[in-house]
Amino acid sequence: MADALFTTTAISKGGRAGGKIALAEGGLWIHTEHSKGLGGSGEGTNPEQLFALGWSNCFNSAVLFVATQKKIDASKAVVKCEVGIGREEGGLGLSAKLTLAIPDMDRAQVQELIEAAHQVCPYSKATRNNIPVELIVEG
């Protein structure tokens, strides 16, 4: 990308098991640890949790963007992003499930929004055809 609107740098030391990650510009510092499913204590934060946090927030913004374009009020939209890690051929791989709930909105309209948001969300674009992603309308 030639003209990035924003860049940030994260620094990692020690990897998943007892490591530390921080933003180079300051403001965020996190202790990392393997999840229990990967043989760790589960007492720290892991990359899958951070990925789920970022994607859920970005996807929610994409829902709101698409809704604004369609002149729909989606201000009550709630996005859940579940990220899984598991064994696949050649090592480990990720999967994701994005769930969208918008109280008092027609299910078909919510389905339309989740599919449109999945086309414009930068995280969705980055993972398209790389990992399995399930889109779910809740409620």
Q: Read out DSSP for 80-121?
A: EEEEEEEEETTEEEEEEEEEEE-TTS-HHHHHHHHHHHHHH-
- pLDDT score recorded for residue 1: 64
Q: How far apart are CA 40 and CA 86, in angstroms?
A: 15
What does the pLDDT read at residue 35?
A: 86
The answer to whether residue 94 scores a pLDDT higher than 80 is: yes
CATH class name, domain 47-138: alpha beta
CATH 2.20.25.10-classified regions of the chain? 1-45
Class of domain 1-45: mainly beta
CATH 3.30.300.20 location in the chain: 47-138
In this structure, are residues 66 and 111 in contact, taking their beta carbons and an 8 Å threshold?
no
Q: Is 23 helix (H, G, I), strand (E, B) or coil?
A: strand
Look at residue 37 and give its three-state secondary structure.
helix
Residue at token pair 């996807």: 59
- Three-class DSSP category at 133: strand
* Full-model pTM: 0.91
pLDDT digits (tens, 9 = 90+) for 102-129: 999 999 999 999 999 999 999 999 999 9
Query: What would the pLDDT profile of 25-82 be if each residue is shown by its tens digit?
Result: 998 999 998 888 888 888 889 999 999 999 999 999 999 999 999 999 999 999 999 9
